[in-house]
Amino acid sequence: MLKRIQVLFFVLLGFCSQAQQTPQYSQWFWHLQALNPAFTGLKPCLEIKTLYRSQWAGLPGSPNSGFMTFSLPIYTKQKKLLSPRQGIGFKFEADKAGAFTLNRFLVSYAGHFNFTPETRLSIGISAGAKQWVFDRDKMTTLDVDPILQESGSFIAPDAAMGFWWNGKNYFLSLSFSELVKNKWTNISDNSAFGIHTAFSAGTRFIANNQFTILPYALFRFPPKGPVSVDLNLLFSFMNKFDFGLGWRNTDAVNALFQYKFDQKFSIGYSVDFVTSNLGTNNHFSHEFSIGFGTCKNINTNKTVCPLF
């Protein structure tokens, strides 16, 4: 029991510092709008996606996170072939770890500028609010800490921005979150949100008219603490069934699955096999996702890009 309390304490300590303050998701590749507002409205159809993550399942006080995103392109009368396009959307996200709960709602807008029919630059911004809650009754420390004797909460503005570039077979993404560096009012004057930077890139190789191979990577730069690196390799069959393997330098290797049906719906699942010291207790992390989109493939017998 003492060992579990110590683990919980260090989990909470990580949240109290200015290290990684945003949730990490293994299925980020299928939910790029949640990572970068520039992806809003990139596809020429409505998209609604949701994901739930249970991290270190079975460990008391372990993080539970999830989000829902909505994306819709804005159609305007084009004066020429490569006229700019626009997109609007929103993201709702909830993250709970031990005594801490974070809820955020962001409305996003993006502009998409084609240089050729296959190359595109997108710029997106999002703004909204977040609620940060600390529940003293849900925390246990080894010794009495006079600083952590009262519960507290606050609501503060939130903002993010991002850039996206893609060609026919590759993409580059750069985003910045937590742009408003709020202090943890009523919780701790010595802690504050810091700007998080995320860079991702990927490409695709067409094996034949049915199989596509997609290697991709994500680099997260927190205001303090180690850089988090995700390396993944995804195999897509006719853009209907996807299977992937991944590695995160901080704590896990993972396996990912997604199935698309009726050309509108998708179901995804991933499992993280923890490689840090927590792995000795067999605490896996699980993600479940559901998606709906109105995009339709004209020819399902050939490979198409699953992103754009």
* Beta bridge partners of residue 272, listed in sequence order: 254, 285
217 and 224 Cβ atoms separated by less than 8 Å: no
pLDDT attached to residue 146 = 59
Interior CA angle at 198 toward 195 and 199, to 5°? 145
48 and 72 Cβ atoms separated by less than 8 Å: no
Residues in the chain: 308
**Listed residue (282, 286, 259) closest to 272, CA to CA:** 286
Residue 301 falls inside a structural domain? no
Residue 302 falls inside a structural domain? no
Q: Total domain count for the chain?
A: 1
User: Digits of tens for pLDDT over the chain (308 positions)?
Assistant: 333 433 343 344 344 334 456 888 999 999 999 999 999 999 889 999 999 999 887 777 788 999 999 999 997 666 666 778 899 999 999 999 888 899 999 999 999 999 988 899 999 999 999 998 888 776 666 666 655 666 788 899 999 999 999 999 999 999 999 999 888 777 666 777 889 999 999 999 988 888 999 999 999 999 888 899 999 999 999 888 999 999 999 888 999 999 998 889 999 999 998 887 665 556 789 999 999 999 876 555 455 565 65
Residue 96 falls inside a structural domain? yes
Q: How many helices (H) and strands (E) does the chain have?
A: 2, 17
CB count in 10 Å sphere of residue 138: 16
Residue 298 falls inside a structural domain? no
Q: Tell me the CATH number at 117.
A: 2.40.160.40
Residue 303 falls inside a structural domain? no
For the entire predicted model, the pTM comes to 0.85
C-alpha distance from residue 229 to each of 131, 165, 233, 234, 295 (Å): 28, 20, 14, 16, 31
Domain range for residue 74?
2-293
